[in-house]
């Protein structure tokens, strides 16, 4: 298992959220279903790399790359 930022994943990768580094961002993300222990999958990355689309809790969420850098996930 490897702990890394969500922004490091590529399209098709999935991982489990471990922690959210930025406390001001964590509440907003948790309200959208990004909570520790939840599985996420990278569905799409825009042509210039920002934003990315992730699949979490049966819906697609678009995130800025700067926000994805604050979400740490565990990959297998």
Q: What is the pLDDT of residues 10-62, one digit of tens each?
A: 999 999 999 998 778 888 888 888 889 999 999 999 998 899 999 998 889 99
CATH of 2-75, one of 2.30.30.90, 1.20.1290.10, 2.170.190.11, 3.10.310.10: 2.30.30.90
**pTM for this model (two decimals):** 0.88
pLDDT at residue 76 is higher than 80: no
Residues paired with 17 in a beta bridge = 73
- What are the boundaries of each domain within the chain? 2-75
**What is the secondary structure of 32-75 as a DSSP string?**
TT--TT-EEEEEEE-TTS-SEEEEETTEEEEE-HHHHTTEEEEE
Instruction: Give the CA dihedral 8, 38, 31, 13, nearest 10 degrees.
Output: 30
Q: 30 to each of 16, 24, 25, 49, how far by Cα in Å?
A: 14, 11, 9, 23
């Amino acid at each position: 298992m490897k702990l890394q930022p969500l922004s490091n994943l590529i399209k098709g990768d999935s991982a489990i959220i471990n922690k959210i580094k930025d406390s001001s961002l964590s509440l907003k993300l948790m309200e959208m279903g990004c909570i520790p222990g939840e599985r996420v999958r990278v569905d799409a990355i825009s042509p210039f790399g920002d934003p990315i689309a992730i699949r979490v809790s049966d819906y697609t969420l678009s995130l800025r790359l700067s926000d994805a850098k604050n979400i740490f996930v565990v990959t297998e």
